[in-house]
Chain A
Amino acid sequence: MAVKPDKQLSEARAWTYVLAGGLLEIVWASGFKYEAIPSIVVLVSLLASFDLIIRAAKVLPVGTVYAVFAGMGTLGTTIVEIVMSGGAVSALRIAFILLLLACIIGLKLSSKGSEA
């Protein structure tokens, strides 16, 4: 985040950053809710995930990066909640969350014009 890197990231490397950033996002988002995750872990994963995403967005199309990032966070937090609540999540709520996710991805992927 601090300085622009001189040599460009390879696309494969940038995608690895997006995936790692998405996984860390699930950690901090869950940490906001569950006290079992220590604050320091939440803080470090939060900063690291944003740093990774910003680095990746310099090489990859921003809309696509956010779509994958938000998608991982949405699915991840849903899975975490299902596990933490012992499966007590209504099917209707999951359906609304998936519809929301589909619309987010559609919106992000159709934002191409601004990515030049």
Chain B
Amino acid sequence: MDWMLLIAAGLLEIIGVIGIKRVAHNNNWTNNIILIGGFLISFQLLVRAMETIPLATAYAVWTGIGTVGAAIVGMIFFKEPKSWLRIGCMLGVIFSVVGLKMVS
């Protein structure tokens, strides 16, 4: 359950990061609500997950999911480069997250 909360927190962080991108380009109400709403709920879930998952693991997994998710969104919607290096890094993040779950 705690890992489910952590993964959900990571997914909501992606929404927050999309908000950051949108606010940086166009600072309006909708984009600020996406940014603040995404992060607020994400933080709430992260705090709950941290009740049982150690700090360093929870933080690293949370940032990792946010990063991979934002990269996928970036590739699809913001025309970011799609290279094997990027895909390799994503697989590396997933591998490390699974590894961290196994050892905790």
A residues lining the B interface (CB < 8 Å): 1, 4, 29-30, 32-34, 46, 50, 54, 57-58, 62, 66, 70, 73-74, 77-78, 80-82, 84-85, 89-90, 92-94, 96-97, 99-104, 106-108, 110-114
Contact = CB atoms under 8 A, between A and B. Distances in A.
Given A54-B23, A58-B24, A104-B63, A112 B96 contact: no
Interface of B: 20-21, 23-24, 27, 39, 43, 46-47, 50, 54-61, 63-64, 67-68, 71, 74, 78-81, 83, 85-86, 88-90, 92-93, 95-97, 99-100, 103-104
Contacts of B103: 90, 92-93, 96
B43 to A, nearest CB: 7
A113 B81 contact: yes
17 contacts: A30-B55, A74-B59, A77-B59, A80-B56, A81-B56, A92-B103, A97-B56, A101-B60, A106-B86, A106-B88, A106-B92, A107-B68, A107-B89, A107-B90, A110-B81, A113-B80, A114-B79
